[in-house]
């Protein structure tokens, strides 16, 4: 495993002079050739991780390894990574060609080689023919591509992307998501992408690190994280969730909203207080009598693909429902869901404990 | 490593500050406590409060006030009209251009214009007032000083007016204010910082003018500047000159504090 | 609204006439064969000829230009270093202190700068003349350069520096390939202003110059104190033309720079 990891953080802490801790004892490994996303709200420390990898800032504690070598004190200009910045950071006094050639010129590469590589990089991002344009003459999406070309032309082992899509409008952003994903596949190098946009993260990543308050809350594939959020924060941050308090009666049986339901979770203590997550799209509208729980529709919005309803049950729990069927505000309806739709979260469980619990009963036929 | 580079940048600059900013001020303060014979004394400061000097100081302030007031009266409307003009960049350049012409030459021009048979007197003759002595009067002094300082008053006011968000004026009109009320309640308060900078840029130099007093006012007007020059270069009484300089520095600081600019509203 | 528009025009026209009349008055009489600034007797270029035969005056012009170019160049270098030091200074208090000290010479009246420099040079034993004038001009030009360069440095996004480092640039590369080109319009404006400040300065030079050395401003002053001489008119006409050329040149160069560098970083 250790040889495979291209980047490894070992108990890294970053603390500013005024004692603000932005990164708290973080450890993780980045493997070669995958698309990683660091996802979290602003100020969670995700950009700090990026800056630590790039070498723009130094860790207060802990070690950072590149290909097994400790890199804490290697300056940014000697690291085998390149960054695509949030504001692109294109040099306004240089044209497109010179921006892309910047890193190669620093390395004193031969003119012909520079020419070849710049042209190839520009072809890669579909900007052939724009070589002599000024940066000010380029649109937002084009600048974005110049920034990517400037990074990939140096053939780094890792490319860091710091919220590179946040300045683009929605349509362009979706387009660029496809392009970036495609680019990473074609180049086959590691991408580390920072964003606060969970949809972006789910759509593009091989692996997501959900970060909050300077800690990695959960890491895993997009489906893992969506289906098995480890705590309230992750469940809330990734997609929309109904989170209600409950009680684990025994394995495969949980109580919430005043009733007991069959579920697929196990390995918890009997009568342990828990939080229960059900995604709004997993709830199905039915008649009052046929529903597993009974709610009253408080408001309804048409969202295009579906209707979004806000309902309350008798214990005053809030239920958000996504349904293609329409309801009427004020109606009392029933909600139906299968045992797999229920996800039980243990209070205050860390990622390691969660993984351990999963492993412990993996053999007992768990899995979906 | 980075820090060492930063320290290297700092060396020549900090040397400059030490040698040419801090030291000269300390030297002036130090010298102000010595008399002509090199004895330590506070007599120079006592002399500042004798009637002769008090009169000189007051008249210097009065002239500086007059010059500043006339500059403001002329420059504000001019700046306002320029911001409203289609050719505002060109007009602004035309206003600044004369300020780049050597001060001495402008003063010299007035020697000709205000002379007994010069253009000003020909004009007075033509309108029937008759020839007057214009040169070497306080009028000529104030006129030339205003002439020289107008661009320095106009520029900060122009900048303030230019930065003023025009929708604020629309908003004021929309809320029922007349053009004059809008000017009083919105435009002027929001450009007051520009006026303050302009006043700073005119009042302090006006206190310390000395070349014009000699050329145009023929020694009829003694400003603080003239007195300093007199003591340093003619009577060689550096102690007294330094005491006046210290007084001028204190005045300057007071004026800067009083007209200290606070940023607000102007976007 | 339409009816009102005449007043501003009349007012501005009046202001401009008053501002420019003296300059044209000087120019006009520089061609007067009569020898005074009152009666225009006939057209002549004699004053210009006389000017170009006056070797003493030509040497003074040369002195003035040398002082201006040298002082502008030196103060630009020190000023740019100073601006860099200020911008990348971490402690806020130290930064503000430097900024305040920087502005002292800008707001100080010329008389005080002149008088205090006179004391300084006398104390440290620098002979009044070329050196003292050059040092003074460098000294009062440095803060102007700093003021012109600082905004450019401040508007420069820090991520540009990160980007350059990221692409392998050493500290020296970052300075020479990114920062200096980026702030070049500011440096140029600073150099130009330093040049004009030096060319225009009378008061400070008047204090710190000795017997053997004089600049144009000081020379004009002593000539003017002796009364009117149309030589000065001819000289001022030439200076006026020179100033206009400088301004036009400056205008075009800043305009060219503004197109590439002025438009700001990558963010729209």
How far is the C-alpha of A116 from the C-alpha of A107, rounded, in Å?
15
How far is the C-alpha of A321 from the C-alpha of A54, rounded, in Å?
43
Asked whether residue A171 falls in the same domain as residue A121, the answer is yes
Task: Note whether B165 and B84 are within 8 A (CB).
Answer: no
Contact C166 A54 (CB under 8 A): yes
Q: Which of C3, C6, C15, C153 to mutate to test the interface with B (most CBs of B within 10 A)?
A: C15
In this predicted structure, what is the pLDDT of residue C258? 54
Task: Note whether B24 and C113 are within 8 A (CB).
Answer: yes
Which region among A268-272, C40-44, C250-254 has the lowest average model confidence (pLDDT)? Answer: C250-254
Q: Element (H or E) spanning A28, and its range?
A: strand A21-31
Which region among A5-9, A156-160, B90-94 has the lowest average model confidence (pLDDT)? Answer: B90-94
Residues of C whose CB is below 8 A from B97: 243-244, 247
Helices marked H in chain A — which ranges? Answer: 46-54, 96-106, 111-124, 140-152, 170-187, 198-204, 222-227, 232-237, 351-362
Residues of A whose CB is below 8 A from C182: 91-93
Task: Note whether A42 and A68 are within 8 A (CB).
Answer: no
Confidence check: pLDDT of A129 > 80: yes
Task: Note whether A298 and A312 are within 8 A (CB).
Answer: yes
In this predicted structure, what is the pLDDT of residue B261? 52
How far is the C-alpha of B67 from the C-alpha of A198, rounded, in Å?
65
Q: Sign (positive/negative) of CA torsion A247, A249, A253, A259?
A: negative
Task: Find the length of chain C.
Answer: 268
How far is the C-alpha of A162 from the C-alpha of A355, rounded, in Å?
29
Q: Does A90 touch chain C (CB under 8 A)?
A: yes
In this predicted structure, what is the pLDDT of residue B256? 85
Instruction: Kindly list the domain boundaries of chain B, sorted by start residue.
Output: 48-258
Q: Does B257 touch chain C (CB under 8 A)?
A: no
In this predicted structure, what is the pLDDT of residue B1? 40
State pLDDT tens for residues A212-264: 999 999 999 999 999 889 988 999 898 888 999 999 998 899 999 889 999 98
Q: Does C41 touch chain B (CB under 8 A)?
A: no
Separation of CA B125 from chain center: 33
Query: CB neighbours of B187 closer than 8 A, spacing ≥ 6?
Result: B161, B164, B169
Token pair of A7 as six digits? 């980047």
Residues of C whose CB is below 8 A from B119: 25
Closest CA to A55 of A75, A80, A83: A75
Phi, psi of A179 (to 5 degrees): -65, -45
Instruction: Quickly state the pLDDT bin for C122 (edges 50, 70, 90).
Output: very high
If you measure CA to CA, which chain A residue comes closest to C185?
A93
In this predicted structure, what is the pLDDT of residue B123? 79
CB atoms within 10 A of CB B238: 25
Domains in chain A, number:
2
Which of A189, A205, A227 is at the close of a domain? Answer: A227
CATH number of C50-260: 1.10.3720.10
**How far does B6 lie from chain C, in Å, by closest CA?**
6
In this predicted structure, what is the pLDDT of residue A208? 95
**How far does B51 lie from chain C, in Å, by closest CA?**
23
Asked whether residue A208 falls in the same domain as residue A326, the answer is no
Token pair of C213 as six digits? 């050395």
Task: With respect to residue A160, please indicate whether it lies within any of the assigned structural domains.
Answer: yes
SS3 content of chain B, % helix, strand, coil (to 5): 75, 0, 25
How far is the C-alpha of A33 from the C-alpha of A158, rounded, in Å?
8
Which region among A289-298, B45-54, B107-116 has the lowest average model confidence (pLDDT)? Answer: B107-116
How far is the C-alpha of B154 from the C-alpha of B168, rounded, in Å?
22
Query: CB neighbours of B118 closer than 8 A, spacing ≥ 6?
Result: B112, B134, C37, C38
Token pair of B95 as six digits? 């206003």
Measured CB to CB, residues of chain C less than 8 Å from chain A are 157, 159-160, 162-170, 173, 177-178, 181-182, 184, 260-261, 263-268
Contact C109 B5 (CB under 8 A): no
Token pair of C124 as six digits? 């440290």
Which region among A346-355, B61-70, B228-237 has the lowest average model confidence (pLDDT)? Answer: A346-355
In this predicted structure, what is the pLDDT of residue C239? 84
Instruction: Quickly state the pLDDT bin for B4 (edges 50, 70, 90).
Output: low
Contact B215 C224 (CB under 8 A): yes
3-state secondary structure of A265: coil
Q: Does C196 touch chain B (CB under 8 A)?
A: yes
Unique residue bearing structure tokens 């500011």:
C186
Asked whether residue A168 falls in the same domain as residue A58, the answer is yes
Token pair of A319 as six digits? 């239920």
**How far does C214 lie from chain A, in Å, by closest CA?**
42
Token pair of C49 as six digits? 């000829």
Instruction: Taking residues C225-233, report their average pLDDT.
Output: 83
Q: Element (H or E) spanning B106, and its range?
A: helix B103-113
Closest CA to A238 of A229, A248, A246, A247: A229
How far is the C-alpha of A146 from the C-alpha of A154, rounded, in Å?
13
In this predicted structure, what is the pLDDT of residue B25? 93
Instruction: Quickly state the pLDDT bin for B3 (edges 50, 70, 90).
Output: low
Task: With respect to residue A235, please indicate whether it lies within any of the assigned structural domains.
Answer: no
Asked whether residue A223 falls in the same domain as residue A267, the answer is no
Q: Tell me the angle at which helices C110-124 and B23-31 cross, rounded to the nearest 10 degrees.
A: 90
How far is the C-alpha of A118 from the C-alpha of A104, rounded, in Å?
9
**How far does B20 lie from chain C, in Å, by closest CA?**
6
Closest CA to A152 of A111, A180, A112, A128: A180
Asked whether residue A100 falls in the same domain as residue A191, the answer is yes
Q: Which of B100, B149, B242, B249 to mutate to test the interface with C (most CBs of C within 10 A)?
A: B100
Task: With respect to residue A234, please indicate whether it lies within any of the assigned structural domains.
Answer: no
Task: Note whether B116 and C227 are within 8 A (CB).
Answer: no
Contact B111 C224 (CB under 8 A): yes
Contact A106 C167 (CB under 8 A): yes
Residues of B whose CB is below 8 A from C251: 93
How far is the C-alpha of C143 from the C-alpha of B13, rounded, in Å?
10
- Residue of A85, A143, A167 lying closest to C163 (CB–CB): A85
Residues of A whose CB is below 8 A from C256: none
Confidence check: pLDDT of C112 > 50: yes
Query: CB neighbours of A69 closer than 8 A, spacing ≥ 6?
Result: none
Instruction: Taking residues B10-15, report their average pLDDT.
Output: 90
Tell me what the pLDDT averaged over chain A comes to: 89
Burial of A269 (0-12, 13-18, 19+ CB in 10 A): exposed
In this predicted structure, what is the pLDDT of residue A2? 44
Task: Note whether A265 and A337 are within 8 A (CB).
Answer: no
Asked whether residue A207 falls in the same domain as residue A256, the answer is no
In this predicted structure, what is the pLDDT of residue C261? 41
If you measure CA to CA, which chain C residue comes closest to A87?
C267
Asked whether residue A152 falls in the same domain as residue A255, the answer is no
State pLDDT tens for residues B73-82: 999 999 999 9
Query: Which CATH number do you get for residue A39?
Result: 3.40.50.300
How far is the C-alpha of B89 from the C-alpha of A296, rounded, in Å?
66
Full residue range of the structural domain in which residue A96 is found: 5-227
State pLDDT tens for residues A35-74: 999 999 988 999 999 999 999 988 999 999 999 899 998 9
CB atoms within 10 A of CB C11: 15
Closest CA to B225 of C109, C222, C121: C109
Does the domain made of B48-258 have the CATH classification 3.30.70.20?
no
How large a percentage of chain A has pLDDT more than 70?
A: 97
In this predicted structure, what is the pLDDT of residue A100? 94
pTM: 0.81
State pLDDT tens for residues C36-53: 777 788 888 888 998 889
Chain A neighbours (≥3 Cβ pairs under 8 A) are C
State pLDDT tens for residues B99-119: 888 888 888 888 888 887 777
Q: Which of A54, A77, A147, A164 to mutate to test the interface with C (most CBs of C within 10 A)?
A: A77
**ipTM entry:** 0.86
Asked whether residue A57 falls in the same domain as residue A183, the answer is yes
Confidence check: pLDDT of A1 > 50: no
């Amino acid at each position: 495993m250790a040889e495979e990891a291209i980047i490894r953080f070992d108990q890294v802490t970053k603390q500013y002079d005024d004692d603000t801790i932005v990164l708290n004892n973080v450890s993780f490994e980045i493997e070669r050739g995958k698309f990683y996303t660091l996802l979290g709200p602003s100020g969670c420390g995700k950009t700090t991780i990026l800056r630590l990898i790039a070498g723009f800032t130094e860790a207060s504690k802990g070690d950072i390894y590149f290909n097994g070598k400790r890199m804490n004190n290697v300056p940014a200009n000697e690291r085998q990574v390149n960054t695509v910045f949030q504001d692109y950071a294109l040099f306004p006094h240089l044209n497109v060609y010179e921006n892309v050639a910047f890193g190669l010129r620093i390395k004193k590469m031969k003119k012909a080689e520079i020419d070849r590589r710049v042209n190839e990089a520009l072809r890669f991002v579909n900007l052939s023919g724009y070589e002599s344009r000024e940066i000010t003459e380029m649109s937002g999406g084009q600048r974005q591509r110049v920034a990517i070309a400037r990074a990939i032309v140096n053939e780094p082992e890792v490319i860091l992307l710091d919220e590179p899509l946040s300045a683009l409008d929605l349509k362009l952003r979706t387009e660029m998501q496809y392009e970036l994903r495609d680019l990473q596949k074609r180049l086959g190098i590691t991408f580390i992408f920072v964003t606060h946009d969970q949809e972006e993260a789910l759509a593009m990543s091989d692996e997501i690190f959900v970060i909050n308050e300077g800690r990695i809350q959960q890491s895993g594939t997009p489906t893992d994280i969506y289906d098995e959020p480890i705590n309230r924060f992750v469940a809330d941050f990734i997609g929309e969730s109904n989170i209600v308090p409950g009680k684990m009666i025994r394995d495969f049986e949980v109580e919430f909203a005043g009733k007991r339901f069959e579920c697929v979770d196990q390995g918890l203590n009997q009568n342990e207080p828990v939080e229960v997550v059900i995604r709004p799209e997993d709830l199905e509208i039915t008649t009052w009598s046929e529903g597993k729980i009974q709610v009253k529709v408080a408001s309804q919005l048409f969202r295009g693909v579906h209707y979004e309803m806000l309902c309350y049950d008798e214990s005053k729990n809030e239920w958000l429902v996504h349904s293609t069927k329409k309801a009427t505000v004020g109606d009392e309806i029933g909600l139906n869901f299968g045992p797999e739709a229920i996800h039980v979260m243990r209070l205050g469980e860390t990622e390691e404990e969660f993984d351990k619990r999963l492993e412990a009963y993996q053999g007992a036929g768990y899995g979906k | 490593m980075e820090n060492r580079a930063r320290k290297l940048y700092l060396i020549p600059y900090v040397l400059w500050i030490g040698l040419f900013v801090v030291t000269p001020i300390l030297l002036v303060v130090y010298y102000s406590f010595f008399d002509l014979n090199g004895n330590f004394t506070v007599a120079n400061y006592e002399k500042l409060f004798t009637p002769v000097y008090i009169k000189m100081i007051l008249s210097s302030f009065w002239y500086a006030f007059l010059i500043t007031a006339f500059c403001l009266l002329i420059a504000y409307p001019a700046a306002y009209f320029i911001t409203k003009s289609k050719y505002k960049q060109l007009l602004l350049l035309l206003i600044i251009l004369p300020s780049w012409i050597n001060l001495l030459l402008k003063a010299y021009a007035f020697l000709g214009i205000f002379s007994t048979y010069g253009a000003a007197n020909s004009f007075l003759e033509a309108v029937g007032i008759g020839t007057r002595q214009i040169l070497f009067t306080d009028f000529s002094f104030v006129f030339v000083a205003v002439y020289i300082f107008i661009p320095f008053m106009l520029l900060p006011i122009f900048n303030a007016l230019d930065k003023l968000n025009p929708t604020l004026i629309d908003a004021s009109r929309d809320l029922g204010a007349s053009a004059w009320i809008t000017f009083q309640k919105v435009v002027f308060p929001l450009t007051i910082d520009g006026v303050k900078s302009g006043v700073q840029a005119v009042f302090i130099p006006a206190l310390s003018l000395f070349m014009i007093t000699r050329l145009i006012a023929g020694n009829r007007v003694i400003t603080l500047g003239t007195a300093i020059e007199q003591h340093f270069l003619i009577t060689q009484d550096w102690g007294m000159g330094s005491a006046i300089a210290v007084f001028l520095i204190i005045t300057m600081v007071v004026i800067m504090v009083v007209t200290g600019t606070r940023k607000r509203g102007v976007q | 609204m339409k009816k009102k528009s005449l007043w501003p025009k009349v007012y501005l026209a009046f202001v401009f006439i008053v501002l420019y009349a003296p300059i044209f008055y000087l120019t006009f009489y520089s061609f007067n064969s009569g020898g005074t600034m009152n009666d225009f007797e006939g057209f002549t270029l004699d004053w210009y000829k006389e000017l170009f035969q006056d070797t003493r005056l030509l040497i003074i012009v040369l002195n003035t230009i040398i002082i201006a170019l040298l002082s502008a160049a030196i103060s630009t270098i020190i000023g740019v270093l100073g601006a860099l030091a200020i911008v990348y200074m971490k402690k806020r208090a130290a930064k503000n202190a430097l900024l305040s000290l920087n502005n002292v010479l800008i707001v100080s009246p010329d008389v005080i700068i002149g008088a205090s420099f006179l004391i300084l040079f006398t104390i440290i034993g620098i002979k009044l003349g070329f050196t003292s004038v050059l040092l003074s001009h460098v000294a009062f030009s440095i803060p102007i350069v700093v003021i012109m360069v600082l905004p450019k440095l401040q508007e420069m996004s820090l991520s540009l520096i990160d980007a350059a480092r990221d692409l392998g640039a050493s500290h020296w590369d970052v300075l020479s390939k990114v920062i200096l080109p980026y702030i070049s319009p500011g440096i140029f404006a600073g150099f130009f202003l330093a040049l004009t400040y030096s060319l225009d300065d009378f008061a400070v030079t008047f204090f710190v110059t000795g017997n053997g050395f004089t600049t144009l401003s000081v020379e004009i002053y002593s000539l003017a104190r002796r009364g009117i001489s149309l030589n000065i008119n001819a000289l001022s006409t030439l200076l006026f033309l020179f100033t206009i050329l400088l301004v036009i040149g400056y205008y075009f160069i800043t305009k060219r720079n503004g197109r590439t560098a002025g438009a700001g970083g990558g963010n729209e």
